[in-house]
Amino acid sequence: MSLLCAATSDAFGVLIADSSHIQAQLLGGALRRGSEFRIATCRMETTSLLHAVAANVPRVALLCPDPSASLGEGMATLRRFHVSHPEVVKVLLVEVCDREMAVGAFRSGARGIFCVTDATLRLLRKCVESVADGQIWANTEQLNYLLDLIAEVPSLRVLNSAGDQLLTPREQQVVALVAEALGNREIAEELSLSEHTIKKYLFRIFDKLGISTRVELVLFAVNHGDPRNAEWLAGTRRTLPTA
C-alpha cells in the first residue's frame, strides 16, 4: 500500500484497489487534485485490501476488478472484503456493466457502480462524496436491473443426496412459493397461471418427491433445497419454459 497525500482536518480516506499498481497510482494522483481526499492504493485482491484497511481504515474504497479475470473472481473478492469490513463504502469501477455484474456487485456489498467510459474526474469525485454521505451511486439501467430482480419469482433448487435436480424450473418456482406460505390462488397470480394448473404442478411435485401434503413439501424443501445456488426465474410474462 502507498499513501499519496497527507491528511487534512476535513479529509476522509479513499482506498483505490486495482490489479495494476501503476493505474491505481495514476487514478489516485488525478483524484487527489482539487479534493480533500486522503488517497491510498493497493492491489485488487483480498490480502492487499485487508492489509491496506488495517493500516488506515478508509471511508470509501474504489475497486477496479481485473478485466482479464472472471466476474465470479471479482465478486468473490468484493464479498470477502465486505464481510471483513462492512463499514467501508465500496464502489465498483468498471468500463461496462451488464445485468449480471450490477446484480452481483450490489449483492456482494457494493454501494455504487461507476462506469469510467466517457466519465470525468469531476463526476468520480461527486460519486465518492455521494456514497460517503450514505447515498447509492447507480444509473437508471442498473437500478432497473435491481427492480426487475425484486419483481421476479424465486426458484428453489431441490436436490437429492447425489446433488441431482429433481424438479423442472417451473416446479422449482412453485416449491419456492409454497415455502413462502402462498396459497394456490396466490401462486397462480404470481406465475400468471390458473389455479388448476398449479394443482397439477403440485400433484406432479408430490409424486416426484414421494410426499402427499404441503407441510411435507415445505419440510422437504428446507432439508433438500439449495437456496444459495437458486436461480431467479421470471413468470410467464418473461418467456420461461413451462414444462
- Per residue of the chain (243 residues), what is the pLDDT tens digit? 444 433 444 689 999 999 888 888 888 888 888 678 999 999 999 999 999 999 999 999 999 998 888 888 888 899 899 989 999 999 999 999 998 899 889 988 999 999 988 788 899 999 999 999 999 999 999 998 888 766 655 566 676 666 677 888 888 888 888 887 888 998 898 888 999 999 999 999 999 988 888 888 887 777 766 553 334 444 443 333 333
CATH number of the domain residue 212 falls in: 1.10.10.10
Grid cell for residue 214: 404441503
Residue 181 lies in a domain: yes
Range of the domain at 173: 152-238
3-state secondary structure of 225: strand
Both 100 and 62 in one domain: the answer is yes
Both 169 and 139 in one domain: the answer is no
**Residue pointed to by grid coordinates 422437504:** 220
Chosen domain end from 109, 126, 148: 148
Chosen domain end from 148, 165, 196: 148
Both 26 and 121 in one domain: the answer is yes
First CA to last CA distance, the chain = 54
Residue 49 lies in a domain: yes
Both 125 and 231 in one domain: the answer is no
Q: How far is it, in rounded angstroms, from Cα 82 to Cα 74?
A: 12
Both 56 and 157 in one domain: the answer is no
Total structural domains within the chain? 2
**Residue pointed to by grid coordinates 457502480:** 113
pLDDT of residue 9: 46
Q: CB of 154 within 8 A of CB of 228?
A: no
Residues 29-41: b if buried by 16+ CB within 10 A, e if exposed: eebbeebebbbbb
pTM (predicted TM-score): 0.63
Residue 243 lies in a domain: no
Grid cell for residue 132: 460517503
Both 127 and 22 in one domain: the answer is yes
